Amino acid sequence: MPRWLPLPSIPYPPEKVGYWGPITSTLNWCEEDYYATVYSAEIVNALTNLMFMWLGVKGIRNCRRYGHDSIFSVAYCGYLVVGAGSFLFHSTLKYPMQLVDELSMIYTTCLMCYASFSYSRSFTVRLALAVFLTGLAVFITLYYHYLQDPVFHQNAYALLTTVVVLRSMFTMEATLRPSLRHSTEADRLMRQRQGLPVPSKERQSYENERDLKILRSMWFMVAYGLSMFLGGFAIWNLDNHFCSTLRVWRRTIGLPWGIALEGHGWWHLMTGMGAYLYIIWGIWLRHCLNNQQEEYYLWWPHFWNFPEIIRKGSGENTIQDTEQAKKSR
């Protein structure tokens, strides 16, 4: 331990022969293999996936508890499989586990794509969309298995994610921005002249203010989630490009402090949070599309908490929940 680091530490153990045998994956990350235990090839990269698994279970339970649409329960199942697959991949560095890890990311994003584009569509359109996305997922699976090129998977995942996020942004603005959904005073008067149902001026003003408040919270969530994704991606790239230097630094400062320099582990934590925020955003947006802003609210007292969409009057609200509900009215 260098003298300028007064904290106690222990030296990194040497790499061992792994329980899972020879490495067959096409990727191997910067964390040294089997240094902590023979049962986990990359223990930090494996354990950081426990957050995925915990949040996946939490999300499934919340969907059942608060009556969120079933498509989001399926999405949380996919999110859980991503975490479990990544845990097994980093524990074993076996090619089949690599496929479970990487392809489950594609499948979960396809589910969110369906949720984003299928709302209020006819049965024919929803069926065509489901067939298209299933075919796309099968094509990516077979072509990736043929190429075995991680860059193809990364580009496919990035493209799908970009499409889904941009679509959700458009839907959010079109649904909640008063000037885009014809909820201004001029639109109200026009509907009145045409003999169409018109809410009172006070009611319209209240709804506009409510939805703008929701919109601001959603944009903060989007910005925060994207920052987590991009920050994790930047750390992951630093981990790839400066791996040899980072390994020297980790062995210099010793355990447990060297764990903080495991860049791929940070990628798991940050993208896990970003993906969780995206599903929460999707749930809240779906309730707004269903005109249920009065029935559900966002519980997120601090940015370091894991937010939830909660049904008002569910009987399970804490004092903090009640206060949050008052603020959202």
The binding site for Zn(2+) comprises 90, 264, 268
The C-alpha atoms of residue 191 and residue 200 are separated, in whole angstroms, by 12
The C-alpha atoms of residue 80 and residue 84 are separated, in whole angstroms, by 6
Coil/strand/helix, residue 39: coil
Coil/strand/helix, residue 35: coil
Pick out the residues of the known binding site for Ca(2+).
29, 31, 42
* DSSP assignment of 199-259: --HHHHHHHHHHHHHHHHHHHHHHHHHHHHHHHHHHHHHHHHHTHHHHHHHHHHH-BTGGG
Pick out the residues of the known binding site.
29, 31, 42, 90, 264, 268
Is the four-CA dihedral 155, 160, 163, 168 of positive or negative sign?
negative
The tokens of 186 are what? Answer: 């001029």
* DSSP assignment of 107-171: HHHHHHHHHHHHTT--HHHHHHHHHHHHHHHHHHHHHHHHH--HHHHHHHHHHHHHHHHHHHHHH
The C-alpha atoms of residue 216 and residue 228 are separated, in whole angstroms, by 18
Coil/strand/helix, residue 17: coil
